[in-house]
Structure 1
Amino acid sequence: MTQTSPHTLHIIGGGMAGSEAAWQAANLGIPVVLHEMRPHVGTFAHQTGNYAEMVCSNSFRSDDDERNAVGLLHWEMAAADGVIMATAREHRLPAGGALAVDREAFAEAVSAKLKAHPLISFEHGEITELPTDGHWIIATGPLTSGALADSIAQETGADSLAFFDAIAPIVYAESVNMDVAWMQSRYDKGETLEEQTAYMNCPMTKDQYEAFIDALLAAEKTEFHEGETAKYFDGCLPIEVMAERGRETLRFGPMKPVGLTNAHQPDVKPYAVVQLRRDNALGTLYNIVGFQTKMKYGAQTDVFRMIPGLQDASFARLGGIHRNTFLNSPTMLDDQMRLKSRPNIRFAGQITGVEGYVESAAMGLLAGRMAAAEILGRDLPPPSNETAMGALIHHITGGAEAKTFQPMNVNFGLFPPIDAKGGRRGRKDRYKAYTDRAKEVFGQWLAGQS
């Protein structure tokens, strides 16, 4: 085990949460050692040794900070000088109302910023057991190594909860038939023409959709080991799982045709539409939106080439599925994100039971600030649950029912209700009231730390 100074913060895991935690603590004057097992020890999903590498999607979802909970979380992270959000905006790609990034350039830039910070140093190699002394944050994400996961389970006296996460395929843009596909964001959303035409759209007739669903259901899939129960994040459901829930499920999910007009046949309404979103700044790679899959590789190419416009598609990366772990945080963590049985250890990111890149980074931001405050001898309470960050940390450290705890995206259902003075509010007005209140309260929380 690494020897540690009482004034040094050690962080295990260089993903979204670990990177953000390191940045926040270092900016508060705390020496940080960031431990990352990649590239010496690889994972199923990662391709590089970069920090903050994105593997499932290249999107941070909605950037609307006035009527969307994740957009509000973007705003809070930016207000707190978050490295993840600042770098995302520097490398954003046209994606309508979403914040999507060039994933390689993004990870390289985050890595460069961390490496340039005078108070952040790095150690590579796998840590296989819980540390016994010093200040630590474990931000190993859903791909926590088996040995460390076993150590956590032994310490807590409970088995780590298991779920399965899926990755969507990426195609080369030049292999898409643009005589069939067309460029358009849903409802032409976006302020510029580039944003309004940010997605490739592949239309399907009813017969094509039905044949696609048949092939999807019949395709050979990755099997789970005996005794494993397939639990998925709702935000990363494999398309086969959605299709098994009903033949129309995909048509009302990632393949919904609403808000789109076929540029090649404007008078013909598609029965379903498959969307592809730009994955890099060059525009040479596109990922198939919402098409996380557990199909085996050979089946993927056969089934996905049934999509009109993708008949000759060439794949830069096929989809896949892998086993992940997360804590039953309401029983294991206090409101400072510390392990109750070992309060020198905090957890952050997806391993705590938040879902998504943004939520993971936000929990890293809080863990980094809280750990720094503790080292400096200060008290830093979590932000109010009237804020997006506060709502998330409250949910995972006590607000959720432990018996039914599952990973959660940020959403307004986690916030205390808005007092509807003067009668009932419409949904848009209510969401705006949530964000207005949150921004004021979060600003006060930040001001209290200066």
Structure 2
Amino acid sequence: MKKEEFYKDARHDLPGPLASIRVVDATTAWAGPMAACLLADYGADVIRVAMPGDEGLPWKPLIRGTSRSFGEETVNRNKRSVAIDLREPSGAETFLTLVASADMVIENFKPGTLAGWGVGYDDCRKAKPDIVYLSVSGWGQFGPESQRPGYDPGALAHSGWMALNGSKDGPPSKAPTFLADDLAGLHGALAALAALRHRDATGEGQHVDVSLLDSIIYQSNGYLTLGATGDSLERWGSEVRVCAPTNCYQCADGHVFLALILDSHWVRLTEVLGCPELGRDPRYLTNEDRVAHRDEVDSLVADWCRDRPQEEVVSTIDAAGIVISVVNTFADAAQDPHVLDRDLLQQTELLDGSSAPLTGPAAKFSRTPVSVRHGAPSPNQHTDEILAEVGVTKEQLDLLRQAGIID
């Protein structure tokens, strides 16, 4: 299918399928902002609430050719922003006025923090009885660990995930990306939309509790069940427990990754490797047989790849209909024609007047296309505009600003 055919019925008068939804985003760091970012990418009016004086995520490196952080532009693009000090009573009152106009609130402070400031779920539901209130935290709103601070690597370690990550004979390793944060953001956005669907059907709002720990365990392929029933879980490196040969293989000029599970694919692979008789060998006929002889089949592939260039290895095995890919760097991926055709880099104007290729949304919508519409705003960029929309007068704005409640 050509891209033009997929989008042939597209509308261009909406920012996305969530165009009528307003989200108040009282989050920091990554998991909470990522949940809100997904909703903003899909067209929701996401209003980021920052503290006065907040300058956004300062994480380096800055995007080359700009003065902007890669982190800030990744999770806070497509949002509007307002600066309100939620710790002060008049700030909490202003926040609740904003909540009264919203469909959803997202927060990721340590449990109980916002309630202590007068803007927890019970406070928000008084302002908007059908509000969907999403809390994202390290360990959840209840449970023995719920009051501990939580970051992504802590959840990876606590869950058992980190114990299985890394080379077979190396130490446990964290993920190179914010995996638990990202998964909590995905689960948060999905769960909040499910709660919103329930609200639309019944008029009932609710509190949604998503934790980094629960999210990484849920996405660990059922390994918690195996751990609970006494299975011996081992670290596999780049191999896969349930199939063989599947591994990362050295070529003359880099690495490739091959994945094989179907018996018919094994027959094809033996033809490529120049040993078709092994496709009929009773030791390797089924995937279960090959897993039992993992080292043997793995060595066959490794020996064939070692002195060949990546391009030859990939083109030859790909022609046989077997899953294989060059192991790219992100710099390589950024030049890949398929990545570019999927709009995964979108040139976007940033706050400082520069432009940069920001990572585009993963999901494609044929009727209501989504995009990176603009870069991340400054934390106080829309304060007056947004508060005026919810009925705060200019005189009230002046008083709040003089008191340091808004910025």
TM-score exceeds 0.5: no
Short-chain TM bin:
under 0.3
**TM norm structure 2:** 0.21
